[in-house]
Amino acid sequence: MSYIELRDVHKIYRVGEMEIHALDGVSLNIEKGEVVIIAGASGAGKSTLLNLLGGMDTVTRGDLIVDGKHVSQFNENELTDYRRFDIGFVFQFYNLVQNLTSIENVELATEICENPLDSLEVLKRVGLEDRIENFPSQLSGGEQQRVAIARALAKNPKLLLCDEPTGALDYVTGKQILKLLQETSKLYHMTVLIITHNLALCPMGDRVFRMKSGKIVEETYNEAPMDIDLIEW
């Protein structure tokens, strides 16, 4: 059995009389420690897939298994624990608490965890040892995203889920963030999923899923993923 398995997962949103098939029979396997790229145009179902994996939404039908647990059968309490202990989420717009410093933002997240990593150590890991006492408004976009990654990592999660993590960043800064995510996966043997609409990023993933209209239209396994430094777009 794979670390993550989806079997014929459907997600249907009802809006008034309309049914939107956001995921239309998705099946996939992901192994522990892989960097996974999920690519596709806007509306393809990428965020829906990530939100299901993160326990922020529930499947309409199908099976979702993470580390041997049937997440698709969890009740509300089990989902809360799952989000709390097993999932680190990184968003496009960082979502930091504005009146807390970098280290306070990280510590706030680790307070509710079972086996958190040391907040200071993780902030050092993401290259922010000089910025730990700064507030988000005193940091650049790239630095704020590093705090957000540190906050997610410090929970010591099973999955690090990143929804367009470089969507608000310039080219060079975005590349540095992707490099950090690639290195982080290696260092902690952490499973990292990255959503992007930039197909040029596909070679950096161990595994790549291309999505269209709620379906996976192409799956690639890269024996030797490319170092992000070597990818230009």
Ligand X SMILES: Nc1ncnc2c1ncn2[C@@H]1O[C@H](COP(=O)(O)OP(=O)(O)O)[C@@H](O)[C@H]1O
For the chain, what is the total number of helices (H) and then of strands (E)? 6, 10
> Do 38 and 195 meet the contact criterion of CB atoms below 8 Å apart?
yes
* Least distance to ligand X, CB of residue 94, Å: 18
Could you tell me the CA-to-CA distances from 138 to 132, 144, 153, 175, 224 in Å, in that order? 11, 9, 22, 21, 39
* Least distance to ligand X, CB of residue 40, Å: 6
> What tokens were used for 158?
């099973």
Name the DSSP class of 230. Answer: G
Residues 44-83 that bind ligand X (CB under 6 A): 44-48
Among 4, 47, 132, 165, binds Mg ion (CB under 5 A): 47
Query: Which positions from 188 to 207 touch Mg ion by CB under 5 A, shown as an x/- string?
Result: --------------------
Candidates 100, 110, 187, 213; CA nearest to 156 is: 110
Tell me whether residue 40 or residue 136 sits nearer to ligand X (CB atom). Answer: 40
210 binds ligand X (CB under 6 A): no
* Least distance to ligand X, CB of residue 83, Å: 17
> What tokens were used for 199?
């197909």
Question: Any idea which residue has 């897939």 for tokens?
Answer: 49
Residues 6+ apart with CB under 8 A from 84: 112, 113
3-state secondary structure of 55: coil
Among 43, 127, 141, 167, binds ligand X (CB under 6 A): 43
* Least distance to ligand X, CB of residue 76, Å: 18
* Least distance to Mg ion, CB of residue 197, Å: 8
Name which of ligand X, Mg ion, none residue 13 binds, using a CB cut-off of 5 to 8 Å depending on partner kind. ligand X
Q: How many CB atoms lie within 10 A of CB 49?
A: 29
Name which of ligand X, Mg ion, none residue 22 binds, using a CB cut-off of 5 to 8 Å depending on partner kind. ligand X
Name which of Mg ion, ligand X, none residue 20 binds, using a CB cut-off of 5 to 8 Å depending on partner kind. ligand X
* Least distance to Mg ion, CB of residue 47, Å: 3
Query: Which positions from 18 to 37 touch ligand X by CB under 6 A, shown as an x/- string?
Result: --x-x---------------
> What tokens were used for 33?
């420690």
93 binds ligand X (CB under 6 A): no
Q: How many CB atoms lie within 10 A of CB 118?
A: 12
> What tokens were used for 32?
């522990």
Residues that bind ligand X in the complex, under the rule CB under 6 A: 13, 15, 20, 22, 40, 42-48
Binding region for Mg ion (CB under 5 A) = 47
